[in-house]
Amino acid sequence: MTPLEPDKIDTLFINCHLATMTGNAFSIIEKAALAVTGKTISWIGKEKDLSDHLKTKCQKVIDCKNGWILPGFVDCHTHLVWGGSRSNEFEMRLAGASYEEISKKGGGIFSTVQATRKASKDELFILASKRVAALLSQGITTLEIKSGYGLNLETELKLLEVIRQLDKDFPVHIEATFLGAHALPREFANDPDGYIDLVTDTMLPKIKNQGIATAVDVFCEHIAFNLSQTKKVFQTAKDLGLNIKLHAEQLSDSNGAALAAQFSALSCDHLEYLSLDSAKKMADNHVTAVLLPGAFYFLKETQKPPVDILRKLKIPMAVSTDLNPGSSPVHSMTLVLNMACVLFGLTCEEALLGATIHGAKALSLEKSKGSIEKGKDADLVVWDIDTAADLCYLAGLTPIKMVIIEGRILHDNFKNE
Query: Which positions touch Fe ion (CB under 5 A)?
Result: 322
> Which is closer to ligand NIG, CB of 327 or CB of 338?
327
Residue in 72, 305, 326, 370 binding ligand NIG, rule: CB under 6 A = 326
**In whole angstroms, what is the distance from residue 283 CA to residue 390 CA?**
31
Interacting partner of 255 out of ligand NIG, Fe ion, none (Cβ under 5 to 8 A depending on kind):
none
Alpha carbon 223 to chain centroid, angstroms: 24
Report in angstroms how near the CB of residue 229 gets to Fe ion at its nearest: 18
- Comparing C-alpha atoms, which of 343, 341, 342, 367 is closest to residue 354? 341
Which helix (H) or strand (E) element contains residue 44? strand 40-46
* 217 touching ligand NIG, by CB under 6 A: no
> Which is closer to ligand NIG, CB of 269 or CB of 373?
269
Binding piece for ligand NIG, criterion CB under 6 A, among 152-160, 302-310, 317-325, 395-403: 317-325
Task: Compute the chain's Rg from CA coordinates.
Answer: 21
Q: Is 43 left (phi over 0), alpha (psi -120 to 50) or beta?
A: beta
**In whole angstroms, what is the distance from residue 323 CA to residue 333 CA?**
10
- Comparing C-alpha atoms, which of 64, 183, 80, 207 is closest to residue 132? 80
Report in angstroms how near the CB of residue 179 gets to Fe ion at its nearest: 8
Residue in 67, 293, 306, 325 binding ligand NIG, rule: CB under 6 A = 325
Identify residues 234-263 at the interface with ligand NIG (CB under 6 A).
247, 250
> Which is closer to ligand NIG, CB of 37 or CB of 303?
303
Give the bridge partners for 289, in sequence order: 268, 317
Query: Alpha carbon of 83 to those of 78, 80, 163: distances in Å?
Result: 15, 10, 14
* 305 touching ligand NIG, by CB under 6 A: no
Residue in 42, 152, 327, 356 binding ligand NIG, rule: CB under 6 A = 327
- Comparing C-alpha atoms, which of 393, 355, 390, 293 is closest to residue 21? 355
- Comparing C-alpha atoms, which of 305, 307, 270, 262 is closest to residue 287? 262
Helix axes 121-136, 153-169, angle to 10 degrees: 40
> Which is closer to Fe ion, CB of 247 or CB of 281?
247
* 10 touching ligand NIG, by CB under 6 A: no
Interacting partner of 40 out of ligand NIG, Fe ion, none (Cβ under 5 to 8 A depending on kind):
none
Report in angstroms how near the CB of residue 223 gets to ligand NIG at its nearest: 9
Q: Which residue is nearest to ligand NIG (CB)?
A: 326
**In whole angstroms, what is the distance from residue 87 CA to residue 107 CA?**
12
Report in angstroms how near the CB of residue 311 gets to ligand NIG at its nearest: 23
* 78 touching ligand NIG, by CB under 6 A: no
Report in angstroms how near the CB of residue 338 gets to Fe ion at its nearest: 20
Which helix (H) or strand (E) element contains residue 365? none
Residues at the site binding ligand NIG, with contacts judged by CB under 6 A: 79, 108-109, 112, 219, 247, 250, 295, 322, 324-328
